[in-house]
Amino acid sequence: MVSRTIPVDTFDLVLFGATGDLATRKILPSLYRRFVAGQMPEDARIIGAARSELSDDGFRDEVRGAIDEFVSKDKHDASMIDAFCGQCSYIPIDAKGEGGWKELKASVRDDVVKAFYFSVGPSLFGPLAEKLRGHGIACDNSRLVVEKPFGTDQDTARKLNDDLAASFAETQIYRIDHFLGKETVQNLMAVRFANVLFEPLWNERYIDHVQITVAETVGVGGRGSYYDKSGAMRDMVQNHLMQLLCLTAMEPPNRYDADMLRDEKLKVIRALDPVDPRDVVRGQYKAGADPSYAEDAENPASKTESFVAMKVNISNWRWKHVPFYLRTGKRMSRRLSEIVIQFKETSHSIFDRDDASKANALTIRLQPDEGMDLSVTIKEPGPGGMRLVNVPLDMTFADALGPDGEEIPDAYERLIMDVMRGNQTLFMRGDEVEAAWAWTDPIIDGWEARGDKPASYSQGSSGPEEALALMHRDGRRWRDLED
Ligand code: BG6
């Protein structure tokens, strides 16, 4: 297969928080992979900026460490690593004081794409934006990348939006939700809007319900102090699951255009019904092979949820009476993220219904094994008469692309290159984030007002029993995580 990697225009990327966890695990390794793929121009530069007093060489050692640990060994080519490190430099910076800003101004070029990546806590967004403007480092066509969490509720998100808007226009701001950079998530739009097959069926007439699962096997150890103030609702549902729901439920935009697409997502969020407290289940993992959530969070009395399952209704013509069931949790039995579109049964069967005949389901797998399958009922091959059997039409992207296919890039690779290309389609707009908080806030406020405690669940399970009951009550069941 011919590589379709097109180099982006040259750039200066200033990475604030360059020695932090996200920069080390995701951002620097992703940039290196794009460099190896030939997409990063030879004169593009990455300028690390953080509090630590590091020299350029000290930072390059950190970059090497990040590549060593987080990039697969087949891409460890010494001359490539040297060349990449040669494009990296470092400036110690005092986010709230004066240290480092003059040096930064002197080192950033004005005639290339300038991007500033805030891989730092949200309390620094406003001060950093102000410094960049105040020192004349950022200009009207610079780009600003910010990471989640984008606020902890609607008020704090609005404040962050206002702080950023004081120095940057909305068209310059790239709010990352890395789920939008996942290959299958983009494919969801291709499947819906580039095929005649699905869109006519994509409504309450043919769809019974939708399930969105993001299950993880990891716990919160190591980031307990952040997570305990956040919980699964703020950490996963308000952003990642909400984005998946929006892309599944939205109307077709007129064009694949950043604002048109985001307008459609916003309409979905605004059409979400308030959630009945009986339709939400919270869980917290108990001690098992690994420590309990409370031990990981170092808070024995913690009421924070590491699991949420909920039923969501969308009040519009397309989705009336089609519930969307969402669930996400840590320390579950398997790492699995998928969207299942469960179709209705045929209105009348000419065959004797037997157990093997099931309604169609389209499963969109985000991870692992990116791909999708459509379950269809066929006649069991052979002479045994008209016996029905349910089989998946499976398309695993890696297989479909073949052995010479390009490797599926990490979400961050795609998103960072989109920033350099000036393409905001896969980034969240300020009003979208605020609307998502406006919907989640009452749910969280309700838990806090009632002092609700999450149900406990075993590690390696599919969450608390109550989550199963949430579906059973409606005569439905979650897809088995082990299937
Ligand atoms: C992050 C959450 O945004 O997404 C984490 O803060 C979560 O808690 C992670 O583990 C999941 O991302 P991925 O790409 O590993 O599925």
67 Cα to the center of ligand 1, angstroms? 20
In a domain, 271, yes or no: yes
CATH number of residue 334's parent domain: 3.30.360.10
In a domain, 164, yes or no: no
Best mutation site among 30, 176, 179 for ligand 1 pocket (most ligand atoms within 8 Å of CB): 179
In a domain, 267, yes or no: yes
Q: Tell whether ligand 1 has an atom less than 6 A from the beta carbon of residue 216.
A: yes
Nearest CA to ligand 1 atom 9: 236
Same domain, 358 and 432: yes
State which ligand 1 atom lies nearest to the alpha carbon of 230: 6
Q: Tell whether ligand 1 has an atom less than 6 A from the beta carbon of residue 338.
A: no
Question: Which listed residue (135, 178, 240, 321) is catalytic?
Answer: 240
The pLDDT tens digits along the chain (483 residues) read 445 677 889 999 999 999 999 999 999 999 999 999 999 999 999 999 999 999 999 999 999 999 999 999 999 999 999 999 999 999 999 988 889 999 999 999 999 999 999 999 899 999 999 999 999 999 888 999 999 889 999 999 999 999 999 999 999 999 999 999 998 888 899 999 999 999 999 999 999 999 999 999 999 988 888 899 999 999 999 999 999 999 999 999 999 999 999 999 999 999 999 999 999 999 999 999 999 999 999 999 999 999 999 999 999 999 999 999 999 999 999 999 999 999 999 888 888 766 556 899 999 999 888 889 999 988 888 887 788 888 889 888 777 665 555 677 889 999 999 999 999 999 999 999 999 999 999 999 999 999 989 999 999 999 999 999 999 999 999 999 987
178 classed as catalytic: no
State which ligand 1 atom lies nearest to the alpha carbon of 179: 14
125 Cα to the center of ligand 1, angstroms? 21
C-beta atoms surrounding 37 within 10 Å: 17
In a domain, 84, yes or no: yes
Q: Tell whether ligand 1 has an atom less than 6 A from the beta carbon of residue 235.
A: yes
pLDDT of residue 403: 54
In a domain, 156, yes or no: no
Same domain, 239 and 310: yes
**How many domains would you assign to the chain?**
2
Same domain, 139 and 188: no
CATH number of residue 112's parent domain: 3.40.50.720
Same domain, 196 and 114: no
41 Cα to the center of ligand 1, angstroms? 29
In a domain, 168, yes or no: no
pLDDT of residue 2: 42
Domain that holds residue 368: 180-472
In a domain, 158, yes or no: no
pLDDT of residue 356: 58
